[in-house]
Amino acid sequence: MKKVLVMCTGNSCRSIIGEALINYYLEGIEAYSCGVAPSGRVNPNARKVLEAHGCWDDRYHSKNLEAVIGIPFDLVVTVCDHARETCPIFPRPTPKIHVGFEDPDGKPYAAFEETFREIKEQLLPQVKQEFF
């Protein structure tokens, strides 16, 4: 099982959606997420969009890097520029890719649907390409 870490700033929208979509759609890959400055909560609209598409799991929550740093990741994906710029050094060499998405936080629910669609269409093929 390959392990992927999806990082953004607050770990409340984009990285949570990315984690959920990878876990739901990509067999043989286990995703985790974290934030460089986690908000401590999942945005209610991020949860709502994942629930609407059958991808929500109660284990998803906002967390910092320290909560997952001990996991031997095969790939780190940053989904916002701030996370890319501040991406830390991992205990072992880990490939990194950046696929940026606009933050839907504070926007209407339709923005979360759009972010969901963009992450599904853009991020999943790139993660899959890294392994298969």
**Distance, CA of 118 to CA of 103 (rounded, Å):** 12
Domain ranges of the chain: 2-131
Over residues 46-73, mean pLDDT: 96
pLDDT tier for residue 92 given thresholds of 50, 70 and 90: confident
Distances from the Cα of 78 to the Cα of 55, 60, 101, 110, 116, angstroms: 20, 17, 10, 23, 16
The pLDDT of residue 88 is: 66
Banded pLDDT at 93 (limits 50, 70, 90): confident
Residues 34 and 62: their CA atoms lie apart, in Å, by 7
- What rounded mean pLDDT belongs to the chain? 93
Residue 81, pLDDT above cutoff 90: no
Whole-model pTM: value is 0.94
Helix (H, G, I), strand (E, B) or coil at 125: helix
CATH number of 2-131: 3.40.50.2300
Helices (H) and strands (E) in the chain, counts: 5, 4
Active-site residue list: 8, 80, 87
